[in-house]
Amino acid sequence: MASSYPFRDDVPSSALAHLHATLSSPSEFNLPEVTPKTPARGYQGLKERYHEAGFDAYVTGVCFIGLCNRLVKLSPDKDLKKNKLSKVTQLIEPFMNKVCEVLLRDAHSAVGYSVCPV
């Protein structure tokens, strides 16, 4: 999603650490503040633990929300700004179930060609 239009000009890298840093800088992505229900558990602040499965999943979710927030801001549809989930779902539909396989060596043998969302 981050390497596709309309984000590719604003996001130089879709590697998770780079993506999170880009979206965390003051920008139009508006990352959410996430506070764990139990303070002793969960992830808070910028203590990075990339490649730890739970942290990577957490950061992926936060980045996804930031990308969705940017799509909402770019959309001329005023209902989106009222948090209409069904409208936001329609907005992210073009990005659903897309996997960029450009760097996967096995992808060429599996499907015969490289698949990357545009």
Domain borders along the chain are: 16-111
User: What is the model's pLDDT at position 44?
Assistant: 62
User: What is the model's pLDDT at position 50?
Assistant: 79
> Which regions of the chain are under pLDDT 70?
41-42, 44-47, 79-86, 99-118
In single-letter form, the type of residue at position 8 comes to: R
Residues 6 or more apart whose Cβ sits within 8 Å of residue 8: 2
User: What is the model's pLDDT at position 48?
Assistant: 72
Cα–Cα nearest to 16, from 73, 70, 58: 58
Quote the CA–CA distance of 20 and 31 in Å, as a whole number: 9
Confidence (pTM):
0.71
User: What is the model's pLDDT at position 105?
Assistant: 58
The tokens describing 27, both together, are: 């920008």
If DSSP codes are grouped into helix, strand and coil, which group holds residue 80?
helix
Residues 6 or more apart whose Cβ sits within 8 Å of residue 55: 43, 48, 49
pLDDT in tens, 89-117: 888 888 887 766 655 555 445 555 555 55
